[in-house]
Structure 1
Amino acid sequence: MPRILRLDRMEILGFKSFYGRTRFDFPDGITAVVGPNGCGKSNIGDAISWVLGEQKASSLRSDRMEDVIFNGSEGRRPLGMAEVSLHFKNLLADGNGHANGNGHGAGNGHGAAPEVTVAADREVPIPEAAESARPAAGGALESQAAALRITGIEEIPEEVVVTRRIYRSGESEYVLNGQRCRLKDIQDLLARTDIGSRLYSTIEQGKIDQVLAARPKDRRAMFEEAAGILGYRSKRRQAELKLEAAQANLLRINDIVIEVEKQINALRRQAAKARRYQKLVDDLRERRLVLARQRLAASDEERQRTGEAIEALRAEEVAAAAALVADEADLERLRLQLEAGEAAARGRREEIHAFDLEIDRIQERLRAGREQVRDLESRLAEGERELTALRSRFAEQETRLAEAIREIADVEERLRSAASSAVAVSADDGERAAAIELLDADLDKTRAGLLERIERHAAMMSHSASLEEQARAARASLLKIEREMEELRASRGRLGAEVEGLEREAAAGRGRAEETAARHEAVTAAEREAAGRMTAVERRAEELKGRAAVLAERRAALAEMERQRAGFSEGVGDLLKGTAGIEPRGVVGDRLDVPPGLEKAVEATLQDLLEAVVVGGAEEAARGVAYLRASGRGRVSFVADEGAPARDESPGTSSCDPPADVPAVHCRLSERIGGAPLGPISRILARTLLVDSLEQAHGLHDAHPAFACVTPQGDIVHFDGSVTGGDGRALSHWLLQRRVEREEIDRRMSEVAAAREEAEGTLLRLREERVTAQERLTSAATEVQVESRVAFERALRLQQGREELDRIDRALPLLVGEQARLQRDIASCVAGMAGRAMDLEVLEAERRTSEESIAARSAELARLRADLELARRASAETRAALAAAEQRHTSLLRERDGLDEAIRDLASSMARRTRERDEWTARIAQIGEQDGGLEQQRQAALNARAEAAARDEAAHAGLAYERSLLHAREQAVKQGRVAQVALRERHQQHELHRARIDADLEHMGRTCRDELATSIEALRASPPPPDDGSGLQERESEVQRIRADIDAIGPVNLMAVEQQKDLEERFSFLTAQKNDLEQAIASLRETIRTINREARERFRSAFEAIQEHFQESFRTLFGGGRAELRLSEEDEDVLEAGIEVAAQPPGKRLQKIGLLSGGEKALTAVALLVSLFRYRPSPFCILDEVDAPLDEANVERFTRLLQELRSDTQLILITHNRKSMEAADLLYGVTMEEPGVSKILPLRFE
C-alpha cells in the first residue's frame, strides 16, 4: 500500500500534564522527544494512541479514562476537558511527489511518484485476484489512480483532521474534519489509508519485553497483521458460522421432512379408510332405522301397561288415605284427653309440693325461735354475772376514795412542819463553806509542787523505760535477724536443689512436648484427609441431587403432558376433557403394559386403536360420536368398559387358540401384553401371533388364516392376508414411547435415589469418622495445651526459684550489717539507763516530803468537809422529805379524781346491764307466744297434704287406662301408614318405569334426530318393518356387527384428502429447501477451503519475506551473526503454527531468544520489529525509550537502522540517549519549569 496520509502535526490541550494548547510538528524523517524523567515525554505517545481510538485506560497508564484530563498542580486548577487533534496530509491529492519511497523500490522525492505495491487485505470477497495487483515500474500517475480505485479512497480530502475529546462527566466525542462522527468512521478511514492500531506501530520497552516473553502462538499475531490475513480469519469465522447455521437448518429440515413423509403415509391410509367407512355408515343407518321402529312399538306398548297399573294403584292409595285419616283423628282425640288428665295430675302434685314447702318453712321458723331463746337465756345469765361483779367493784372504789381523802389531810400537815426546819439548816452551811475554801487553796499550792516533781520523775521513768524497750526491741530484732539468716541459708540450699530438679524436669518436658506436637500434627492431617473425603462425597451427593432434580423435572413434564393429553388428536383431546357429556376412562394405550422391544409389534397390530377412548358403555360411545359429528372434530374409536371380562371363547373350544403344530415360541401377543386390555383389544391381541420374521409370518398365516402374525420390528400379516411393513422408524407411537420413557426415568430415579442413599450413608459414616478425628484432634490439642501450660508453670517456678536465690544472696549481706547496728544500739541503751537511776533517787525524796504535808492539810480539810456534809445531808433529808410529801400529796389528788371517774363509769355500766336484762326477758316471752301459733299452722298443713295425696292416688288409675287405649290406637295408625308407604313405593316404581320408558323414547328421539336424520313421530307414522322373523336381539346383533366393522376401521380423518394435498405441497417445498441448503453447505465448504488456501499462501509469502528482513536487520544490529524464524513443529497447519525466534550473535552458538542476555534480547526484538516494518511499513511509528538497554556501540547500529527506515516511515523517537538524539531531524525538549505542567522546546537540526 503506498503512503496515502502523512502525519503533519498534533495539537494537545489538557491531556495529562499538557495544560495549555501545545503543537507538535512532525516532518518526514526522525523526530526525537527528550527530557528528564517524569517530565511527560511518554504522554506524547499516549496522546497519539488515544486519539486513534485506544479504549483501554491501562494502556494509557491510567485507572480510568477520565484520568487523562489535566488534574491540576500547585499553581493551576484542574481542567474539565482533554482534547487531542492529529493533522494528516494527503500525499496523493495533487501528485506533488512528496511520497518518499515504497516497499520494493525508491522514489527520488522531487515530484516523481513512486512505484505502487497494492496489498488490499480488507477487500471482499477473498478469492478476487485484484487484491494482489502489482503494476509495472514506471511511477506514472495512472498507477496511483489505479491504487486509489482499488482501495476506495478517491474521496479523501487534501487534509484530514482527527480529534478526540473527553469530559469530566465521562462523555466522549470524536470529530473528523470539524464534523462529529463515530469511532468506527475514523477507524474505517484510517484503515483504508493503512493507518490503524498496528500491533507494532507503537514500540516501547514493555512491548519489547512482551515480544520476547510471548508464546509462539501469541507472537504469531504480529506476523498475521503484517501479512494482511487478519481479515481472512474473520471471513473464515463468518463462513464457519454460516456453515454451522446451515448444517443446523439442514438437520431441522431433515427432521421435518421425515415427519411430513410419515404424515403423508398416514393420510393415505386414512383416505382409504374414509371410503369404506362411508359405505358402512349408510348401511348402519338403514339397520338402525328398522331397529328403532321395532323398539318404539315395544316401548309404546310397555308404557300403556304401566299407565293402567298406575291408575289402579292411585285408587288404592285414596282409600287407604281416607282410613288413615279417621284413625289419626281418633288418635288425636285420645291424646288430647290423656294430656288433660296428666295436666290435672301435675296440678295435684304441685299442690302437694306446695304443702311440703309450707311445712318445711314452719318447722324452720320453729327451730330458729328455739335457737334464739337459748341464745337469749345464755346472754341473760352472763349479764347477771357481770352486774354482780360491777356492784362489787363499785363498793370497793367508794372505800378507797374515803381512805384517799383522809391521807391527803395528813400529808398537808407534814408539809408545813418540814418547811420551817429547812430555813434554819441553810444558815449554818454558809459558815462551814468559807473555812473549807481557804484551806483548799493552800492545799492546791502544795499539790502543784508535788505534781511537778511527779512529772519529772515520770519523765525520767518513761525515758528509762524507753531505753529499756529499745534495748529489748533491739535484742528481739537481733534474735529475729539471726533466725532469718539461718532460714535464708537453709532456703538457699533447698531452692538450689529445687532449681536443679526443675531444670532436669524442663529438659524431659521439652521431649514430651515435641512428641505431643508430632501426634497433634498427625491427627490434624488425618482430620484434614477425612474432611477432603467428606467434601468429595458431598459433591457426589450434590451431583446426584442435581441429576434427581433433572429426572424429576422430566418426570413432571411427562406427567403434565399426560394431564394435558398432549399428542392426542383434537377429537380425542376434547372427549378426554369431558366436554362431550360423557365420562371417559382414558385411552386403550393407557391400559396396556407393553414389554420392552414389543412397542412396534403392538403399534402395528392395534394402529389407531391405541388412541381409542374407553367409555362406560354403548350409550356413552353414541353420545361421543354424536358430539364429534356435531362439532366436526373428526373421527374417534370407542371401546366399552362395562366391567365384564373379555368375551373370549373357552380355550378348549376357541377357534382363536394357536394350533398344536405352531411352535411354542410363537405365542399369542395377548400373553406378552400386561395391564388390563378390554374385550375388543384382548380379542385382537389373542388372534395375533408373535413371530421372529416376516417369512415365518407368511408361513403361519398360510397354514392358519384365522390369525394375524407380527414381528417385533412391526412387520405384520393381517387377517385378510395383506402385509404391512417397512422402515421401523415410522412406528414410534408417542403414547408407548412416553410410557417407556416414564418407566426408564422411574428406573433411573430409583438408581439415583439408591446412589444418593449410599452417598448419604457414606457421608454419615465419614462425618462420624471426622467427628472421631476432631475428638482426637481436640484431645491432642488439649494434650498440647496441657504440656504447654505445665511447661509454662515449670518455667515460671524455675524463674521464681532463681529470682528467690538472687534475693537471698542480696539479703544475707544486708542482714549481717543490720545485726552489727542492733548490737551497737543495745550497748547505748544500757549506758543511758544507768545515768537516769541516780536522778530518780533525788526526786523520790522530795516527793515523799510533799506528800506528808499534803496529807496533814488534807486531814483537816476532810474533817471540815465531813461536818459540812453532815449538815448538808440533814438539810437534804429535810428537803427530800418535803419533796416526797409534795409528791405524795399530788399523787393522792390524782388518785381521788380517778376514783371519782371510775365510780361514775361503774354506775353507768350497771344501769346499761339492767336495761339489757329486762329487754332479753321480754323477747323470750314473745318468742314463746310465736312458737305456739306456728305449731298450729304446721298441723293444719299436714292435714291438707294428706287429703291432696289421697285425691292424686285415685286419679292415677284412670290415667293408666287412657294410656293403654292411646297405645292401641297408635299401633293401628302406624300399620296404616306402612301400608300407605308400600302403595306409594309401588306407585313410584311404576312411575319410574314409565319415566325410564319416556327417557328411552326421548333418547331414541334425539338419536333419530342427531344420528338418523328423522323424528320419532315419523317413525310411528312409517309402516312397520317386514316381519322376517328377526327379533330385537338379532337386529341389535346385526347393528353391533356393523359398528364393530366401523370401529375396526378406527378413527377416520374426513379432511384426509385436503390435508394430504397440503402436506405434499409442503413436502415439495421442504425438499427444495433441503437441496438449497445442501448446495449452500457445499459452497461454504469450498469458500472456507479457498480462504485457507489464500491465507496460507499469503502467510508463507510474508513469513519468507520477514525472515529475509529479520536476518538482514539482525546482521546490521549485531555486526554479523545469524538469526532465523521457525514455525512450531507440533502444528502441521501453517495457519495455526506458532513462531519461534532463534538467534546466534557473533561468536556464539545458535540458541533460542530466551537464553540471550538482556541487551541481546532487546536488539533481537528490535530486529524482529524492524523486519515487520520493512515488509509492511506503517506510516508512522513511536519508539518509546527502546534504546534504553543498549550500550553505545549498539546504539550506533540502532541509529543506522533508523536511517534506513526513515524513507518509509515517520519515526517519533522518545529517548535519553545522546547518539539517538543526533540522528533526529527535529528535537523536542520536554521540561517542567512549573511543577506538574509540561512544556516543549523545539530544535531543528540543519
Structure 2
Amino acid sequence: MRIKKLEIHGFKSFAERAVLHFGHGITGVVGPNGCGKSNIVDALRWCMGEMSAKHLRGRAMQDVIFAGSDSRGPLGMAEVTLTFDNDGNVPPEYAQFSEIAVTRRLHRDGSSEYLVNKVPARLRDITDLFLGTGVGTRAYSIIEQGRIGFIVSSKPEDRRSLIEEVAGITKFKARKKAAERRMESTQQNLSRVGDIVTELERQLQSLRRQAKRAEKYKELRSELRDLELHHASLETLRVLVMKKLASSHSEALEQEAQEAQAGIAAHEISIEEDRLRLLAIERALQHDQAASAELETKLAALERDLEHWRRQRDEANARGQAARRDLEDAENKLTTARAEHEGHTVNLSNLATSVDVDRERLLSLDADHGETQGKMTSIDRRAESLRRSAVEYIHEGARQRTLVAAIAKRTHELRSRLEHSTAELEDVAHRRGVAEIKARALTEQRDALMSQMTDWRSWLDTNRITLDAAVTAMTESDRLVRSLRDELSERRSRLESLQEIARHFEGYSDGVRSLMQPAIEGMPGRTAVSGVRALITDVLEVPPQLEIAVEAALGERLQYVVVDAQTVGVTAIAYLRSIAGGRSGFVPVEPRNTGGVANGDALTRVQARPGFEAVAEYLLRDVSIVANLDEAML
C-alpha cells in the first residue's frame, strides 16, 4: 500500500482545504519552524486511528480542530482523508477497489465518523485494514525524533514487534488473540451450560419422583372413584329400600314437604318484604333528610326576615322619636310665630292710628304751611318710613303666615308618618310573633325528625352489619372456591407435565431410554428386552425430606435398571451395543448377597415396593442418614 494523496481540512493549522500529493520515490516536506510540518504527520497518524490526544500534542481530542485566528473564526469540524494504492495486500472486501480512501471526521460536539471509500466504517475496520502493512499508529512507518535511538538501543523483545509487523504476522496474532478470547468466552458459556444441565438433571430426578407420586395419586384416585361408585350404588339401594318402607307415610311426608315449601316461600316473601321495607325506609330517610334541610333553610330565612323587621322596627322607633321632636319644635315655632304675628298686628294698628293723627294734625296745620314746611318734610319722611315699616310688617306677616302653613303641613306629615310607623311597628310585632311560633313549630318538627332519623339509622346500621357479614361470607366463599379451582387446575397441569416427563423418561441416560423405547412410543409396560422389571426410582419410596440425601448417596445408581436375572442384564447390554443405544447399569431383582450385617439405618427410613426388598437392601445396606455433618462425625 502506497500513499498517493493526503487531504486536510480544519485540522490544527489547516483552516482551508489542503491537498498533498505523494509521488514515487521520496517526498520531503520542507519549511521553517512553526509552518505546520509536524501537523502533517499528526494528520497521518490521526487518520489511521490514533486515539490519544497526547500523541497528537494536545490535551483533548477537540484540540485538533482549527481554533481560529485574528482574521478567521474557529471551525466546527476537522477532516483528514488518506488515499492509498491497492497493491492486493488488503482485506477481501476491498480487493475490487484500485484505490482506498480512509476518512476521519471529528465535530466540536465530540462526535466522530470513519469512512472507507465514503462508506461509514468502524475504528476496528480501520485498524484491521492497516494490520500487517507496516502502516498504523504504532507501526514502524512513522518514526519520530528520538525513535531511532530507542529502536537501536531497545531489547530484542521490544524489537520483535517491529519485525513481526514487517513480516506481516501482526494481523494473524491479533486474529489469534481475538479467537482465543472468543474460545475462552465459549468455554465459559459451555461451563455455565454444564452447570445448568447438572442442575436440570437434579431437578429432573425430583420431578421424576413427583411424577411417580402423581401416578400413585392417579391410581389412588381411580380406586377412590371405584369406592365412590360402590358407595353410591349402596346408597341408591338404601334409598330404594327406605322408599319402599316409607311408602305408607308418603302422604304425610308430602304434606310436610308442602308445608316446608310453603314456609320457605313465606320466609322468602318476608325477606323480600323486609328488603322492600328497608328500601322504603331508606327513601323516606332521604326524603326526611331533604325535608329537614329545607325546613332548616326556611327557618334560617325566617330568622333573617325577623332580624330585618327588628331593624325596621328600631328604625321606625327612631324615626317616630325624631318626628315627635320635629313636631314639638314646629309647635313651638308656630306659637312663637303667632305671638310675633300678633305683636306685628298691634304695631301695625298703632302705626295706622299714628298716621291718622298725623294726617289730622297736617290738615289743621295746613294753614300754617309755610311755617311748618320743615316740620312737614320731617313728618313726610317719618310717614314714608312708617309706610315702609308697615309694608315690611305686612310682608313679614305674609311670610309668617306662609311659615305657619308650612309648619302645619309638616306637622301633618309628621303625624301621618308617626301613625304609619306605629302601624308598621304593630305589623312587625305581629309578624315576629307569627315567625316565632313557626320557628318553635319547625324546631319541634326538626327534633322529631332527627329522633326518627336516629332510630332509622340505628335500625339500618344493624341490618347493614348483618348484610355486610353475609356479603363478606359469600365473597370469602367465592374466593375460596376460585382458589381451590386454581389450585386444582395448577395441580392438574403439573400432573400432566410430570406424566409427560415420566412417559418419555426424560433425564435418564440414553441406554435407559433405548430400553424403554416401546413404552415411550405408547406401549406402557413394554420394553425392548424382555425381563426388564423396573427402574430404581420406581422401586424405592423415599420420604420427601430424605430425597436429596438418598439422591446424593446413590448418585448414578438411581438410573440402574432392575432385571429378572443377571443374564437379562447381559442380554440388555448386548442389545444396547448392537444398536449403539448408549450404556446403562443393571441390578437383578435378587442380587448376590455380599454377606455381613447392614451398617446403615437408611433401610429403616426408606421403603421398597413389594418384591424389591432385596434390591433396596443391596443399594442402602451401608448408607446412614444424619441431620448434619457434626452428627456424621460422631
TM-score interval (norm. to shorter)? 0.3 to 0.5
TM-score, scaled to structure 2: 0.36
Higher RCO (CA 8 Å, separation ≥ 6 residues)? 1
TM-score, scaled to structure 1: 0.20
Higher alpha-carbon Rg: 1
